[in-house]
Chains A and B, each alone.
Chain A
Amino acid sequence: MDKSKFSHWFFIGPHIILFVVFILIPSIYGVYASFTNWNLMTSPTWVGLDNYRTILTNQDSSFHHEFFNGMKNTLIFVGVSVPLMVAIPLVIASAIEHKKVKFKNFFQSIIYIPGLISISAAALIWSLIFNSQLGMMNNFFGADTVWTATQPYAWMTIFIMTVWGGIGGNMIIYRASISNVSQDLYESAEIDGAGPIRKFISVTLPSIRFPLIYTVVMTTAGSFNVFGQPLMMTNGGPRESTTVLMMYIRDLAFGSGQSIAGMASAMAVLLGMVILIISAAQYYVMNRNSA
Protein backbone atom coordinates (compact mmCIF):
# COMPACT_ATOMS: atom_id res chain seq x y z
CA MET A 1 0.00 0.00 0.00
CA ASP A 2 2.72 2.39 1.01
CA LYS A 3 4.59 1.58 -2.13
CA SER A 4 1.75 2.42 -4.48
CA LYS A 5 1.12 5.61 -2.58
CA PHE A 6 4.44 6.99 -3.59
CA SER A 7 5.25 5.22 -6.80
CA HIS A 8 3.73 8.03 -8.83
CA TRP A 9 6.72 10.11 -7.81
CA PHE A 10 8.85 7.73 -9.77
CA PHE A 11 6.87 8.58 -12.89
CA ILE A 12 6.38 12.31 -12.51
CA GLY A 13 9.19 13.15 -10.09
CA PRO A 14 12.10 13.38 -12.55
CA HIS A 15 10.20 15.72 -14.80
CA ILE A 16 9.12 17.88 -11.89
CA ILE A 17 12.75 18.32 -10.91
CA LEU A 18 13.61 19.29 -14.47
CA PHE A 19 10.63 21.60 -14.61
CA VAL A 20 11.54 23.36 -11.39
CA VAL A 21 15.20 23.77 -12.28
CA PHE A 22 14.88 24.75 -15.92
CA ILE A 23 11.51 26.47 -16.19
CA LEU A 24 10.06 27.50 -12.83
CA ILE A 25 13.17 28.92 -11.15
CA PRO A 26 14.45 30.73 -14.24
CA SER A 27 11.04 32.24 -14.94
CA ILE A 28 10.67 33.55 -11.41
CA TYR A 29 14.26 34.67 -11.35
CA GLY A 30 13.80 36.37 -14.71
CA VAL A 31 11.00 38.49 -13.30
CA TYR A 32 12.96 39.13 -10.11
CA ALA A 33 16.07 40.11 -12.07
CA SER A 34 14.10 42.74 -13.95
CA PHE A 35 13.91 44.68 -10.69
CA THR A 36 17.65 44.52 -10.11
CA ASN A 37 21.05 45.54 -11.32
CA TRP A 38 22.70 42.33 -12.35
CA ASN A 39 25.82 41.44 -14.29
CA LEU A 40 24.80 37.79 -14.61
CA MET A 41 27.63 36.49 -12.45
CA THR A 42 27.60 38.21 -9.07
CA SER A 43 24.50 38.65 -6.96
CA PRO A 44 21.95 41.20 -8.16
CA THR A 45 21.11 44.42 -6.30
CA TRP A 46 17.48 45.39 -5.90
CA VAL A 47 16.61 48.64 -7.66
CA GLY A 48 12.82 48.42 -7.68
CA LEU A 49 11.17 49.86 -10.74
CA ASP A 50 14.27 51.72 -11.93
CA ASN A 51 14.86 49.55 -14.98
CA TYR A 52 11.27 49.88 -16.12
CA ARG A 53 11.33 53.60 -15.50
CA THR A 54 14.49 53.99 -17.57
CA ILE A 55 13.21 51.85 -20.42
CA LEU A 56 9.77 53.39 -20.60
CA THR A 57 10.31 57.02 -19.75
CA ASN A 58 13.94 58.16 -19.87
CA GLN A 59 14.29 59.80 -23.27
CA ASP A 60 18.03 60.30 -22.96
CA SER A 61 18.85 56.70 -22.24
CA SER A 62 20.03 54.42 -25.00
CA PHE A 63 17.99 51.62 -23.31
CA HIS A 64 14.83 53.62 -23.89
CA HIS A 65 15.74 54.10 -27.51
CA GLU A 66 16.75 50.44 -27.92
CA PHE A 67 13.59 49.10 -26.36
CA PHE A 68 11.20 51.17 -28.42
CA ASN A 69 13.12 50.67 -31.62
CA GLY A 70 13.37 46.93 -30.96
CA MET A 71 9.71 46.66 -30.04
CA LYS A 72 8.68 48.64 -33.11
CA ASN A 73 10.72 46.40 -35.38
CA THR A 74 9.46 43.26 -33.68
CA LEU A 75 5.88 44.42 -34.16
CA ILE A 76 6.58 45.19 -37.82
CA PHE A 77 7.92 41.69 -38.24
CA VAL A 78 4.96 40.08 -36.49
CA GLY A 79 2.43 42.30 -38.23
CA VAL A 80 3.68 41.49 -41.70
CA SER A 81 4.91 37.95 -41.35
CA VAL A 82 1.96 36.40 -39.51
CA PRO A 83 -0.65 37.22 -42.19
CA LEU A 84 1.79 35.95 -44.83
CA MET A 85 2.48 32.78 -42.88
CA VAL A 86 -1.23 32.07 -42.65
CA ALA A 87 -2.49 33.21 -46.04
CA ILE A 88 0.21 31.75 -48.27
CA PRO A 89 0.13 28.19 -46.89
CA LEU A 90 -3.67 28.34 -46.89
CA VAL A 91 -3.73 29.09 -50.61
CA ILE A 92 -1.11 26.45 -51.32
CA ALA A 93 -2.99 23.89 -49.25
CA SER A 94 -6.22 24.62 -51.13
CA ALA A 95 -4.42 24.23 -54.44
CA ILE A 96 -2.94 20.91 -53.37
CA GLU A 97 -6.31 19.71 -52.13
CA HIS A 98 -7.91 20.52 -55.47
CA LYS A 99 -9.73 17.33 -56.42
CA LYS A 100 -7.96 16.75 -59.67
CA VAL A 101 -4.43 17.65 -58.62
CA LYS A 102 -2.09 14.69 -58.42
CA PHE A 103 1.35 14.38 -56.79
CA LYS A 104 -0.11 15.94 -53.66
CA ASN A 105 2.58 14.57 -51.38
CA PHE A 106 5.34 15.61 -53.73
CA PHE A 107 4.22 19.25 -53.69
CA GLN A 108 3.77 19.10 -49.96
CA SER A 109 7.28 17.73 -49.40
CA ILE A 110 8.95 20.40 -51.52
CA ILE A 111 7.25 23.16 -49.58
CA TYR A 112 7.92 21.54 -46.24
CA ILE A 113 11.63 20.78 -46.67
CA PRO A 114 12.98 24.32 -46.05
CA GLY A 115 11.44 24.09 -42.58
CA LEU A 116 14.04 21.45 -41.77
CA ILE A 117 16.92 23.72 -42.69
CA SER A 118 18.40 25.68 -39.83
CA ILE A 119 18.05 29.43 -39.93
CA SER A 120 21.78 29.92 -40.18
CA ALA A 121 22.22 27.64 -43.20
CA ALA A 122 19.20 29.16 -44.92
CA ALA A 123 20.41 32.69 -44.23
CA LEU A 124 23.79 32.00 -45.81
CA ILE A 125 22.09 30.91 -49.02
CA TRP A 126 19.54 33.72 -49.06
CA SER A 127 22.21 36.33 -48.38
CA LEU A 128 23.93 35.22 -51.53
CA ILE A 129 20.70 35.29 -53.49
CA PHE A 130 20.18 38.91 -52.48
CA ASN A 131 23.82 39.87 -52.94
CA SER A 132 23.72 42.78 -55.34
CA GLN A 133 26.59 41.56 -57.47
CA LEU A 134 26.52 37.79 -57.30
CA GLY A 135 22.94 37.10 -56.44
CA MET A 136 20.08 35.83 -58.41
CA MET A 137 17.69 38.70 -57.76
CA ASN A 138 19.64 41.39 -59.49
CA ASN A 139 21.18 39.31 -62.23
CA PHE A 140 18.14 37.27 -63.06
CA PHE A 141 15.41 39.84 -62.67
CA GLY A 142 17.55 42.80 -63.65
CA ALA A 143 16.89 44.62 -60.40
CA ASP A 144 19.43 47.20 -59.33
CA THR A 145 18.92 47.14 -55.62
CA VAL A 146 21.33 46.89 -52.74
CA TRP A 147 18.88 44.70 -50.91
CA THR A 148 20.09 44.56 -47.34
CA ALA A 149 21.28 48.17 -47.15
CA THR A 150 18.08 49.97 -48.14
CA GLN A 151 14.53 49.87 -46.89
CA PRO A 152 12.01 48.47 -47.54
CA TYR A 153 14.16 45.89 -49.31
CA ALA A 154 15.99 44.87 -46.14
CA TRP A 155 12.69 43.89 -44.58
CA MET A 156 11.67 42.10 -47.75
CA THR A 157 14.71 39.82 -47.60
CA ILE A 158 13.77 38.90 -44.05
CA PHE A 159 10.13 38.23 -44.91
CA ILE A 160 10.94 36.20 -48.00
CA MET A 161 13.31 33.99 -46.10
CA THR A 162 10.87 33.63 -43.21
CA VAL A 163 7.99 32.59 -45.45
CA TRP A 164 10.21 30.24 -47.41
CA GLY A 165 11.37 28.43 -44.30
CA GLY A 166 8.32 28.73 -42.10
CA ILE A 167 5.09 27.85 -43.84
CA GLY A 168 5.46 24.08 -44.19
CA GLY A 169 3.93 23.18 -40.85
CA ASN A 170 0.91 25.43 -41.28
CA MET A 171 0.40 24.15 -44.80
CA ILE A 172 0.26 20.54 -43.66
CA ILE A 173 -2.22 21.43 -40.96
CA TYR A 174 -4.47 23.30 -43.40
CA ARG A 175 -4.23 20.53 -45.94
CA ALA A 176 -5.33 17.90 -43.48
CA SER A 177 -8.16 20.08 -42.21
CA ILE A 178 -9.37 20.94 -45.71
CA SER A 179 -9.42 17.30 -46.71
CA ASN A 180 -11.56 16.58 -43.67
CA VAL A 181 -14.24 19.03 -44.75
CA SER A 182 -17.26 17.09 -45.79
CA GLN A 183 -17.88 16.97 -49.54
CA ASP A 184 -21.61 17.35 -48.93
CA LEU A 185 -21.08 20.93 -47.86
CA TYR A 186 -19.33 21.77 -51.12
CA GLU A 187 -21.95 20.03 -53.16
CA SER A 188 -24.82 21.85 -51.55
CA ALA A 189 -22.96 25.13 -52.01
CA GLU A 190 -22.53 24.28 -55.67
CA ILE A 191 -26.24 23.68 -55.99
CA ASP A 192 -26.71 27.18 -54.61
CA GLY A 193 -24.51 28.37 -57.47
CA ALA A 194 -21.37 29.24 -55.48
CA GLY A 195 -18.10 29.65 -57.42
CA PRO A 196 -14.75 28.39 -56.14
CA ILE A 197 -13.90 31.58 -54.24
CA ARG A 198 -17.33 31.75 -52.69
CA LYS A 199 -17.03 28.10 -51.67
CA PHE A 200 -13.65 28.77 -50.11
CA ILE A 201 -14.98 31.64 -48.05
CA SER A 202 -18.32 30.27 -47.01
CA VAL A 203 -17.50 26.56 -46.68
CA THR A 204 -13.76 25.96 -46.26
CA LEU A 205 -12.83 28.77 -43.91
CA PRO A 206 -15.58 28.20 -41.33
CA SER A 207 -14.92 24.46 -41.38
CA ILE A 208 -11.25 24.83 -40.52
CA ARG A 209 -11.83 27.43 -37.84
CA PHE A 210 -10.01 25.65 -35.03
CA PRO A 211 -6.84 24.85 -36.94
CA LEU A 212 -6.84 28.47 -38.12
CA ILE A 213 -7.05 29.83 -34.59
CA TYR A 214 -4.39 27.40 -33.47
CA THR A 215 -1.97 28.35 -36.23
CA VAL A 216 -2.54 32.08 -35.89
CA VAL A 217 -1.88 32.01 -32.16
CA MET A 218 1.15 29.73 -32.44
CA THR A 219 2.65 31.60 -35.39
CA THR A 220 2.22 34.93 -33.62
CA ALA A 221 3.79 33.75 -30.39
CA GLY A 222 6.69 32.27 -32.35
CA SER A 223 7.17 35.38 -34.46
CA PHE A 224 7.73 37.54 -31.40
CA ASN A 225 10.89 35.56 -30.71
CA VAL A 226 12.34 36.48 -34.10
CA PHE A 227 16.10 36.72 -33.90
CA GLY A 228 18.06 34.66 -36.41
CA GLN A 229 16.74 36.08 -39.68
CA PRO A 230 17.50 39.76 -39.04
CA LEU A 231 20.76 38.88 -37.29
CA MET A 232 22.10 36.99 -40.27
CA MET A 233 20.41 38.71 -43.20
CA THR A 234 20.78 42.38 -42.30
CA ASN A 235 22.54 42.36 -38.94
CA GLY A 236 19.82 44.73 -37.81
CA GLY A 237 20.59 47.33 -40.47
CA PRO A 238 20.32 49.61 -42.26
CA ARG A 239 20.71 51.96 -39.31
CA GLU A 240 19.05 49.61 -36.82
CA SER A 241 15.80 49.58 -38.77
CA THR A 242 15.59 45.79 -38.59
CA THR A 243 17.10 45.31 -35.13
CA VAL A 244 14.45 43.36 -33.24
CA LEU A 245 14.01 43.33 -29.48
CA MET A 246 15.49 39.85 -29.05
CA MET A 247 18.74 41.12 -30.57
CA TYR A 248 18.98 43.98 -28.08
CA ILE A 249 18.14 41.63 -25.21
CA ARG A 250 20.85 39.23 -26.25
CA ASP A 251 23.39 42.02 -26.73
CA LEU A 252 22.66 43.52 -23.34
CA ALA A 253 22.81 40.22 -21.48
CA PHE A 254 25.43 38.31 -23.45
CA GLY A 255 26.96 40.82 -25.85
CA SER A 256 30.54 41.85 -26.22
CA GLY A 257 30.12 44.81 -23.91
CA GLN A 258 29.22 44.26 -20.34
CA SER A 259 26.36 42.10 -19.18
CA ILE A 260 23.42 44.30 -18.20
CA ALA A 261 21.20 41.38 -17.37
CA GLY A 262 18.80 43.31 -15.13
CA MET A 263 17.91 45.76 -17.86
CA ALA A 264 17.73 42.93 -20.38
CA SER A 265 15.38 41.00 -18.08
CA ALA A 266 13.08 44.00 -17.78
CA MET A 267 12.90 44.20 -21.57
CA ALA A 268 12.24 40.46 -21.70
CA VAL A 269 9.42 40.75 -19.18
CA LEU A 270 7.85 43.58 -21.17
CA LEU A 271 8.13 41.55 -24.36
CA GLY A 272 6.68 38.52 -22.57
CA MET A 273 3.71 40.58 -21.40
CA VAL A 274 3.05 41.79 -24.93
CA ILE A 275 3.18 38.20 -26.21
CA LEU A 276 0.76 36.99 -23.54
CA ILE A 277 -1.70 39.83 -24.06
CA ILE A 278 -1.72 39.52 -27.83
CA SER A 279 -2.05 35.73 -27.79
CA ALA A 280 -4.92 35.92 -25.33
CA ALA A 281 -6.64 38.66 -27.30
CA GLN A 282 -6.27 36.76 -30.56
CA TYR A 283 -7.69 33.63 -29.06
CA TYR A 284 -10.58 35.51 -27.56
CA VAL A 285 -11.45 37.55 -30.64
CA MET A 286 -11.19 34.69 -33.10
CA ASN A 287 -13.07 32.27 -30.93
CA ARG A 288 -15.79 34.84 -30.43
CA ASN A 289 -16.22 35.84 -34.03
CA SER A 290 -16.31 32.39 -35.42
CA ALA A 291 -18.55 30.85 -32.79
Chain B
Amino acid sequence: MNKKYNISKYLAYLFLITVCLIWVVPMIFGFTTSFRSQGEVVNEGFRLLPVNWIVDNYMAILENTSSAPILRWIGNSLFISITHTLLVVVVISITGYGYSRMRFKGRDVLFFTLLGISFFPNVVNIIPLYRIVDILGWVNTPWAMIVPGLAGMGNIFLVRQFMKGVPKELDESARVDGASDFTIFFRIVLPLIKPVLIVGGLFSFIGSWNDFLWPVIVYTDVQKMPVTAGLLLLQDIYGNYQMVGQLMGSAILAIIPTLLLFLFAQKYFVSAINLNAGIKG
Protein backbone atom coordinates (compact mmCIF):
# COMPACT_ATOMS: atom_id res chain seq x y z
CA MET B 1 0.00 0.00 0.00
CA ASN B 2 2.68 2.43 1.03
CA LYS B 3 4.89 1.49 -1.87
CA LYS B 4 2.11 2.19 -4.34
CA TYR B 5 1.68 5.63 -2.84
CA ASN B 6 5.40 6.23 -3.18
CA ILE B 7 5.47 5.44 -6.90
CA SER B 8 2.52 7.65 -7.56
CA LYS B 9 4.09 10.30 -5.38
CA TYR B 10 7.23 10.34 -7.51
CA LEU B 11 5.17 10.37 -10.66
CA ALA B 12 3.23 13.34 -9.35
CA TYR B 13 6.44 15.16 -8.47
CA LEU B 14 7.97 14.41 -11.84
CA PHE B 15 4.88 15.67 -13.59
CA LEU B 16 4.60 18.82 -11.50
CA ILE B 17 8.26 19.70 -11.81
CA THR B 18 8.13 19.24 -15.57
CA VAL B 19 5.06 21.42 -15.84
CA CYS B 20 6.57 24.09 -13.62
CA LEU B 21 9.72 24.12 -15.70
CA ILE B 22 7.71 24.61 -18.86
CA TRP B 23 5.82 27.37 -17.10
CA VAL B 24 8.85 29.21 -15.79
CA VAL B 25 11.28 28.89 -18.67
CA PRO B 26 9.54 31.41 -20.98
CA MET B 27 9.74 34.07 -18.30
CA ILE B 28 13.38 33.33 -17.58
CA PHE B 29 14.14 33.29 -21.29
CA GLY B 30 12.46 36.69 -21.72
CA PHE B 31 14.33 38.02 -18.73
CA THR B 32 17.79 36.86 -19.76
CA THR B 33 17.30 37.85 -23.39
CA SER B 34 16.56 41.39 -22.29
CA PHE B 35 20.20 41.58 -21.20
CA ARG B 36 21.67 40.51 -24.55
CA SER B 37 22.97 42.91 -27.18
CA GLN B 38 21.46 42.90 -30.65
CA GLY B 39 24.76 41.78 -32.14
CA GLU B 40 24.95 38.85 -29.80
CA VAL B 41 21.35 37.82 -30.42
CA VAL B 42 21.85 37.90 -34.17
CA ASN B 43 25.20 36.16 -34.28
CA GLU B 44 24.93 33.65 -31.49
CA GLY B 45 21.30 32.81 -32.05
CA PHE B 46 19.47 31.13 -29.22
CA ARG B 47 21.04 31.06 -25.77
CA LEU B 48 19.34 30.86 -22.43
CA LEU B 49 22.02 32.96 -20.75
CA PRO B 50 23.70 35.98 -22.30
CA VAL B 51 27.41 35.83 -23.14
CA ASN B 52 27.73 39.38 -21.87
CA TRP B 53 25.13 40.81 -19.55
CA ILE B 54 24.37 44.35 -20.66
CA VAL B 55 21.77 46.90 -19.60
CA ASP B 56 21.83 48.86 -22.86
CA ASN B 57 18.42 47.56 -23.84
CA TYR B 58 16.87 48.99 -20.71
CA MET B 59 18.71 52.28 -21.23
CA ALA B 60 17.33 52.48 -24.77
CA ILE B 61 13.82 51.60 -23.65
CA LEU B 62 13.82 54.21 -20.91
CA GLU B 63 15.38 56.84 -23.14
CA ASN B 64 12.60 56.67 -25.69
CA THR B 65 9.95 58.74 -23.95
CA SER B 66 8.14 59.83 -27.10
CA SER B 67 7.10 56.95 -29.30
CA ALA B 68 7.54 54.18 -26.72
CA PRO B 69 7.28 55.79 -23.28
CA ILE B 70 7.11 52.57 -21.33
CA LEU B 71 7.32 54.13 -17.86
CA ARG B 72 4.57 56.50 -18.79
CA TRP B 73 2.47 53.57 -20.01
CA ILE B 74 3.02 51.73 -16.77
CA GLY B 75 2.12 54.91 -14.88
CA ASN B 76 -1.06 55.25 -16.94
CA SER B 77 -1.93 51.64 -16.23
CA LEU B 78 -1.33 52.12 -12.52
CA PHE B 79 -3.49 55.23 -12.39
CA ILE B 80 -6.26 53.53 -14.34
CA SER B 81 -6.19 50.27 -12.41
CA ILE B 82 -5.92 51.82 -8.96
CA THR B 83 -8.65 54.39 -9.55
CA HIS B 84 -10.86 51.76 -11.12
CA THR B 85 -10.29 49.39 -8.22
CA LEU B 86 -11.09 52.00 -5.58
CA LEU B 87 -14.26 53.02 -7.36
CA VAL B 88 -15.28 49.40 -7.81
CA VAL B 89 -14.98 48.82 -4.09
CA VAL B 90 -17.13 51.86 -3.36
CA VAL B 91 -19.77 50.95 -5.93
CA ILE B 92 -20.06 47.26 -5.11
CA SER B 93 -20.22 47.82 -1.37
CA ILE B 94 -22.99 50.39 -1.41
CA THR B 95 -24.89 48.66 -4.19
CA GLY B 96 -24.50 45.23 -2.61
CA TYR B 97 -25.81 46.70 0.62
CA GLY B 98 -28.76 48.18 -1.20
CA TYR B 99 -29.75 44.90 -2.79
CA SER B 100 -29.39 42.78 0.32
CA ARG B 101 -30.27 44.98 3.29
CA MET B 102 -32.55 47.75 2.09
CA ARG B 103 -36.21 46.94 1.83
CA PHE B 104 -38.06 48.31 -1.13
CA LYS B 105 -40.64 47.05 -3.56
CA GLY B 106 -39.36 44.90 -6.41
CA ARG B 107 -35.84 44.78 -5.06
CA ASP B 108 -35.04 41.22 -6.06
CA VAL B 109 -36.87 41.45 -9.36
CA LEU B 110 -34.79 44.51 -10.22
CA PHE B 111 -31.59 42.82 -9.16
CA PHE B 112 -32.12 39.68 -11.17
CA THR B 113 -33.31 41.63 -14.19
CA LEU B 114 -30.07 43.59 -14.19
CA LEU B 115 -28.07 40.41 -13.60
CA GLY B 116 -29.84 38.73 -16.51
CA ILE B 117 -29.18 41.65 -18.84
CA SER B 118 -25.54 41.64 -17.86
CA PHE B 119 -25.18 38.08 -19.16
CA PHE B 120 -25.79 39.47 -22.60
CA PRO B 121 -22.49 38.96 -24.45
CA ASN B 122 -20.49 42.16 -24.28
CA VAL B 123 -19.22 41.83 -27.82
CA VAL B 124 -22.53 43.42 -28.82
CA ASN B 125 -22.19 46.55 -26.73
CA ILE B 126 -18.55 47.33 -27.36
CA ILE B 127 -19.12 49.38 -30.53
CA PRO B 128 -21.87 51.64 -29.12
CA LEU B 129 -19.86 51.87 -25.91
CA TYR B 130 -17.08 53.49 -27.91
CA ARG B 131 -19.56 56.06 -29.21
CA ILE B 132 -20.83 56.82 -25.70
CA VAL B 133 -17.32 57.22 -24.39
CA ASP B 134 -16.57 59.48 -27.35
CA ILE B 135 -19.63 61.64 -26.61
CA LEU B 136 -18.48 61.94 -23.00
CA GLY B 137 -15.12 63.13 -24.33
CA TRP B 138 -13.30 60.25 -22.73
CA VAL B 139 -11.49 58.82 -25.75
CA ASN B 140 -7.77 58.95 -24.98
CA THR B 141 -8.41 59.69 -21.31
CA PRO B 142 -8.11 57.32 -18.34
CA TRP B 143 -11.87 57.58 -17.73
CA ALA B 144 -12.55 55.45 -20.80
CA MET B 145 -11.11 52.51 -18.89
CA ILE B 146 -12.03 53.50 -15.36
CA VAL B 147 -15.74 54.13 -15.52
CA PRO B 148 -17.56 51.70 -17.87
CA GLY B 149 -16.31 48.66 -15.94
CA LEU B 150 -18.02 49.97 -12.80
CA ALA B 151 -21.37 48.98 -14.26
CA GLY B 152 -20.65 45.25 -14.08
CA MET B 153 -22.89 43.00 -12.01
CA GLY B 154 -20.54 40.12 -11.17
CA ASN B 155 -18.92 41.64 -8.11
CA ILE B 156 -22.19 43.04 -6.82
CA PHE B 157 -23.65 39.56 -7.02
CA LEU B 158 -20.69 38.34 -5.00
CA VAL B 159 -21.12 41.02 -2.33
CA ARG B 160 -24.83 40.34 -2.12
CA GLN B 161 -24.22 36.62 -1.61
CA PHE B 162 -21.62 37.35 1.00
CA MET B 163 -23.90 39.73 2.90
CA LYS B 164 -26.51 37.02 3.15
CA GLY B 165 -24.05 35.20 5.38
CA VAL B 166 -23.68 38.18 7.68
CA PRO B 167 -26.17 37.83 10.54
CA LYS B 168 -29.03 40.28 10.16
CA GLU B 169 -29.43 40.51 13.93
CA LEU B 170 -26.45 42.84 14.04
CA ASP B 171 -27.91 45.56 11.89
CA GLU B 172 -31.45 44.97 13.10
CA SER B 173 -30.50 45.57 16.70
CA ALA B 174 -28.68 48.70 15.59
CA ARG B 175 -31.76 49.79 13.71
CA VAL B 176 -33.81 49.34 16.86
CA ASP B 177 -31.31 51.62 18.57
CA GLY B 178 -32.24 54.22 15.98
CA ALA B 179 -29.27 53.92 13.63
CA SER B 180 -29.82 55.05 10.04
CA ASP B 181 -28.94 53.01 7.00
CA PHE B 182 -25.81 55.08 6.57
CA THR B 183 -24.62 54.36 10.07
CA ILE B 184 -25.39 50.68 9.76
CA PHE B 185 -23.59 50.52 6.45
CA PHE B 186 -20.43 52.27 7.59
CA ARG B 187 -20.24 51.06 11.18
CA ILE B 188 -21.48 47.50 10.99
CA VAL B 189 -21.67 46.06 7.52
CA LEU B 190 -18.60 47.53 5.89
CA PRO B 191 -16.08 46.04 8.31
CA LEU B 192 -17.74 42.65 8.02
CA ILE B 193 -17.66 42.43 4.26
CA LYS B 194 -14.04 43.42 3.92
CA PRO B 195 -12.92 40.00 2.62
CA VAL B 196 -15.31 40.06 -0.32
CA LEU B 197 -14.37 43.63 -1.12
CA ILE B 198 -10.73 42.64 -1.28
CA VAL B 199 -11.68 39.89 -3.71
CA GLY B 200 -13.66 42.23 -5.90
CA GLY B 201 -10.90 44.81 -5.81
CA LEU B 202 -8.16 42.35 -6.64
CA PHE B 203 -9.99 41.00 -9.65
CA SER B 204 -10.88 44.46 -10.84
CA PHE B 205 -7.26 45.49 -10.61
CA ILE B 206 -5.94 42.51 -12.54
CA GLY B 207 -8.81 42.72 -15.00
CA SER B 208 -8.26 46.33 -15.87
CA TRP B 209 -4.46 46.01 -15.86
CA ASN B 210 -4.58 43.18 -18.37
CA ASP B 211 -7.52 44.34 -20.49
CA PHE B 212 -6.46 44.35 -24.11
CA LEU B 213 -9.26 44.74 -26.65
CA TRP B 214 -10.86 47.84 -25.15
CA PRO B 215 -7.68 49.90 -24.68
CA VAL B 216 -6.57 48.99 -28.19
CA ILE B 217 -9.84 50.54 -29.37
CA VAL B 218 -10.06 53.68 -27.23
CA TYR B 219 -6.46 54.84 -27.11
CA THR B 220 -4.68 56.30 -30.12
CA ASP B 221 -2.56 58.93 -28.39
CA VAL B 222 0.70 57.20 -27.60
CA GLN B 223 1.25 59.20 -24.43
CA LYS B 224 -2.15 58.34 -22.99
CA MET B 225 -2.35 54.60 -23.47
CA PRO B 226 -1.95 51.90 -20.86
CA VAL B 227 0.84 49.41 -21.11
CA THR B 228 -1.11 46.56 -22.73
CA ALA B 229 -1.99 48.67 -25.74
CA GLY B 230 1.49 50.17 -25.75
CA LEU B 231 3.14 46.79 -26.08
CA LEU B 232 1.08 46.12 -29.19
CA LEU B 233 2.62 49.25 -30.70
CA LEU B 234 6.03 48.12 -29.57
CA GLN B 235 5.61 45.03 -31.65
CA ASP B 236 5.63 47.38 -34.62
CA ILE B 237 8.38 49.63 -33.38
CA TYR B 238 10.98 47.12 -32.26
CA GLY B 239 9.37 43.98 -33.62
CA ASN B 240 9.65 44.84 -37.28
CA TYR B 241 13.32 45.46 -36.77
CA GLN B 242 13.70 42.51 -34.44
CA MET B 243 15.25 44.53 -31.66
CA VAL B 244 14.84 41.51 -29.52
CA GLY B 245 16.50 42.73 -26.35
CA GLN B 246 14.40 45.87 -26.25
CA LEU B 247 11.20 43.93 -26.86
CA MET B 248 11.94 41.53 -24.03
CA GLY B 249 13.01 44.32 -21.70
CA SER B 250 9.71 46.13 -22.28
CA ALA B 251 7.71 42.97 -21.68
CA ILE B 252 9.58 42.32 -18.44
CA LEU B 253 9.01 45.88 -17.20
CA ALA B 254 5.31 45.50 -17.94
CA ILE B 255 5.12 42.27 -15.97
CA ILE B 256 6.74 43.54 -12.79
CA PRO B 257 3.82 45.46 -11.18
CA THR B 258 1.30 42.61 -11.22
CA LEU B 259 3.98 40.18 -10.14
CA LEU B 260 4.73 42.33 -7.10
CA LEU B 261 1.05 42.54 -6.32
CA PHE B 262 0.84 38.77 -6.44
CA LEU B 263 3.80 38.33 -4.11
CA PHE B 264 2.22 40.58 -1.52
CA ALA B 265 -1.38 39.45 -1.87
CA GLN B 266 -0.93 35.80 -2.73
CA LYS B 267 -3.28 34.39 -0.11
CA TYR B 268 -6.06 36.71 -1.21
CA PHE B 269 -5.75 35.54 -4.80
CA VAL B 270 -6.44 31.93 -3.97
CA SER B 271 -9.39 32.65 -1.73
CA ALA B 272 -10.58 35.18 -4.26
CA ILE B 273 -10.74 32.70 -7.11
CA ASN B 274 -12.54 30.17 -4.99
CA LEU B 275 -15.00 32.66 -3.60
CA ASN B 276 -15.74 33.69 -7.14
CA ALA B 277 -16.50 30.12 -8.12
CA GLY B 278 -18.64 29.64 -5.05
CA ILE B 279 -16.24 27.26 -3.30
CA LYS B 280 -14.99 27.71 0.21
CA GLY B 281 -11.28 27.02 0.01
Contact = CB atoms under 8 A, between A and B. Distances in A.
A228 interface: yes
A7 B102 contact: yes
Contact of B151 (A19, A101, A249): A19
A239 B118 CA distance: 36
A14 B259 contact: no
> Chain A: interface secondary structure?
helix
A53 interface: no
Contacts, number: 287
Given A30-B125, A119-B210, A211 B217 contact: no
B130 interface: yes
B138 to A, nearest CB: 11
Interface string B226-256: 0111111011000100001001101110110
Interface in B132-173: 132, 134, 147-148, 150-153, 156
Contacts of A136: 25, 29, 46, 48
Contact of B127 (A5, A120, A227, A261): A261
A52 B251 CA distance: 41
A95 B248 contact: no
B35 interface: no
Interface magnitude class on chain A: 35 or more
Contact of B5 (A10, A40, A99): A99
A114 B23 CA distance: 8
Nearest to A95: B12
Interface in B97-128: 97-99, 102-104, 107, 110, 114, 117-128
Interface magnitude class on chain B: 35 or more
B16 interface: yes
A135 B98 contact: no
A234 to B, nearest CB: 12
B27 to A, nearest CB: 7
B279 A211 contact: yes
Nearest to B270: A172
A169 interface: yes
B45 A100 contact: no
A182 interface: no
A273 to B, nearest CB: 8
B5 A15 contact: no
A180 interface: yes
Given A15-B98, A124-B247, A228-B212, 10 more contacts: A5-B104, A19-B114, A30-B125, A31-B124, A98-B12, A117-B259, A169-B273, A173-B279, A250-B213, A268-B127
9 contacts: A8-B103, A26-B127, A116-B258, A121-B250, A128-B30, A128-B244, A134-B41, A265-B127, A268-B127
